[in-house]
Homo-oligomer: A and B are copies of this chain.
Amino acid sequence: MGTYDVWAPKASSVRLSLDGEVHPMTADDGGWFRAPSGLDEGAGHRYGFLLDDAEQPLPDPRSRRQPDGVHGLSETVDLDAFAWTDRDWTGRQLAGSVVYELHLGTFTPEGTLDSAIERLPHLVDLGVDLVELLPVNAVNGRWNWGYDGVDWYAVSEAYGGPEAYQRFVDACHAAGLGVVQDVVYNHLGPSGNYLPSFGPYLSSKHANTWGDNVNLDDDGAHEVREFILRNALMWLDAFHVDALRLDAVHALKDDSEVHLLEEMATRVQALSAHLRRPLTLIAESDMNDPRVVTPRDGGGYGPDHRRGYGIDAQWSDDFHHAVHVALTGETTGWYEDFASLDSLAKVLTKGFFHDGTWSSFREKDHGHPVDTDRTPAWRLVVANQNHDQIGNRAVGDRLAGSLDDGQLVIAAALTLTSPFTPMLFMGEEWAASTPWQFFTSHPEPDLGEATAKGRIEEFAKLGWDESTVPDPQDPQTFERSKLDWSELEGGRHAVVLDAYRRLAALRRAEPDLTDPRLDRTSVEHDADARWLVLTRGELRVAVNFAEQPVTLDVAADEVLFASDVSVTAGGTLILPAHSVAVVR
């Protein structure tokens, strides 16, 4: 496929506008249009496509860069030009790894990939193995969480564009860090989405109140699927990325015989063999369905023998909800089902809380049980905070905004001693005092206003004063969401950071903590007295959520980590309010 070829079955004719000159294109099979041969396909050419008798060229659906924004011309990039230094990199597997989720725009004051490189030593010191980037696709406006992307093949110019992205991945590998890229295939942003002009990228087949879905199984779906699959492979191959985080896979509606996820898993496994390094797919899924992460080979899953999709891992929000409620006492919305400490006990031993149980929020039974005898627990990625769980709160407040140090260390300890794959959200490790709020920068006044209005109304319904909810379009909302690295030096920040570092180091040192066998994990707890003891092999993690001290008869030979805990001569633990200890 040539650089300037384009799939545009909705058009009768297509012309290429390249560096100001218009070239006729030739219709080919299946809705493809081919550019004339002999055109320079090197870097730096501005181009777009004139569909039918249009006078305004549209950007390339496969654009690698949009120097003038999502409405402007595309620019050619030579992805092979970069001088990679990671020849010896043989990959970073997810099993046993700690993931660190970050948003490039707010991770550093400069908000770029190059400035993020300068902070990699902090992540290495912290004990991180994989850096996960929120989506980097080109979006309209100057900043955005990233989920409004419309040019799935492009890296946002605000972050430095594709070359900066390659520098970042190369620097991560040099530091021993793998890279996870968050990619969105379930929807397109509200501004700059020209795909529907080219072809049936969207379909009403599974349409719901939010509109059409990405077309995975309707007429023309084959090319749309290829568009997505080739994009996934691009990150892993041309950008040397180690893993993809697939946004909201429950919204990938697909009744095809082979689900897009299974096809992606198969293609990625083939690429992994070619590159001779592990490539990992991580799904964000609200389905609580182990089928997503069940290997493809080896028969179906569960009593009805449903085929596995072969995705490597999936996010499990139940862990977050159980920890959040146990620490904050919040029980609104979907937190209601997690009111008792029983839910945390179940999550720690069974993976999902909702595994066929009643969800009061959904008003139906929800989820399927994990096969705890045979599913390695690292297939579930858990966090006590993440971009959604913080940013989708009215004021984007972190746990650090309402919890004391002892409680924050409990959250850290539960995450980093759990049998699951721990994920941290940037700044969590030092109890960052900066919020992480919902911010947009839609240049279209109508869109900006609608976004802000929708956001404020949503929280008004929940009883929030309109003046309290930050305006997503206000530049200050973005600015105040930036991490303040200067606060890392002292006070509670240094205390919490020290705890995170010691816990991450403990996880690396103690095989019991990365042991993925759920049948070797057990919990004792008292939901009324609000304490819990998690057993991981020979180690125990004793947690006191209560306001009162508790004495636990945990025969502790050795204290591996403790926040303010004392041990009697007989090995009995005395846990003050809001404290945690990891003992052998």
Which of B89, B374, B508, B516 contacts A90 (CB under 8 A)?
B89
A278 touches B (CB below 8 Å): yes
Complex-state Cα separation, A564 to B376, whole angstroms: 51
Q: List 24 A-B contacts (CB under 8 A).
A: A91-B278, A92-B276, A93-B277, A93-B278, A96-B272, A96-B273, A96-B274, A97-B276, A266-B517, A269-B376, A269-B516, A270-B511, A270-B514, A270-B516, A273-B378, A274-B511, A274-B514, A274-B515, A278-B278, A297-B374, A298-B371, A298-B374, A299-B300, A299-B302
Complex-state Cα separation, A277 to B274, whole angstroms: 18
A276 in contact with B96 (CB, 8 Å): yes
Minimal beta-carbon separation of A202 from chain B (angstroms): 30
Complex-state Cα separation, A95 to B91, whole angstroms: 13
Over the window 260-277 of chain A, the binary record of Cβ atoms lying under 8 Å from chain B Cβ atoms (1 yes, 0 no) is 000000100111111111
Over the window 270-312 of chain A, the binary record of Cβ atoms lying under 8 Å from chain B Cβ atoms (1 yes, 0 no) is 1111111110000000000000001111111110010010000
B295 in contact with A515 (CB, 8 Å): no
* Chain B residues whose CB sits within 8 angstroms of the CB of A297 once the complex forms: 294-295, 298, 371, 374-376
B91 in contact with A276 (CB, 8 Å): no
Chain A residues with CB under 8 Å of chain B are: 88-93, 95-97, 129, 176, 266, 269-278, 294-302, 305, 308, 371, 374-376, 378, 508, 511, 514-517
* Chain B residues whose CB sits within 8 angstroms of the CB of A511 once the complex forms: 270-271, 274
Complex-state Cα separation, A95 to B277, whole angstroms: 8
Complex-state Cα separation, A520 to B65, whole angstroms: 34
Question: Copies per complex?
Answer: 2
Q: Find the B residue at minimum CB distance from A310.
A: B374
Q: Find the B residue at minimum CB distance from A98.
A: B276
- Known contacts A299-B299, A299-B301, A299-B305; 18 further A-B pairs (Cβ under 8 A): A88-B176, A93-B276, A93-B278, A95-B273, A95-B276, A96-B274, A96-B275, A97-B276, A270-B514, A270-B515, A270-B517, A271-B511, A276-B508, A294-B299, A295-B298, A297-B298, A297-B375, A305-B305
* Chain B residues whose CB sits within 8 angstroms of the CB of A371 once the complex forms: 297-298
Minimal beta-carbon separation of A33 from chain B (angstroms): 23
Minimal beta-carbon separation of A84 from chain B (angstroms): 15
* Chain B residues whose CB sits within 8 angstroms of the CB of A266 once the complex forms: 517
B92 in contact with A374 (CB, 8 Å): no
Minimal beta-carbon separation of A558 from chain B (angstroms): 17
Complex-state Cα separation, A92 to B276, whole angstroms: 7
Complex-state Cα separation, A142 to B388, whole angstroms: 65
Complex-state Cα separation, A302 to B298, whole angstroms: 8
Complex-state Cα separation, A301 to B92, whole angstroms: 30
* Chain B residues whose CB sits within 8 angstroms of the CB of A271 once the complex forms: 511
Minimal beta-carbon separation of A306 from chain B (angstroms): 9
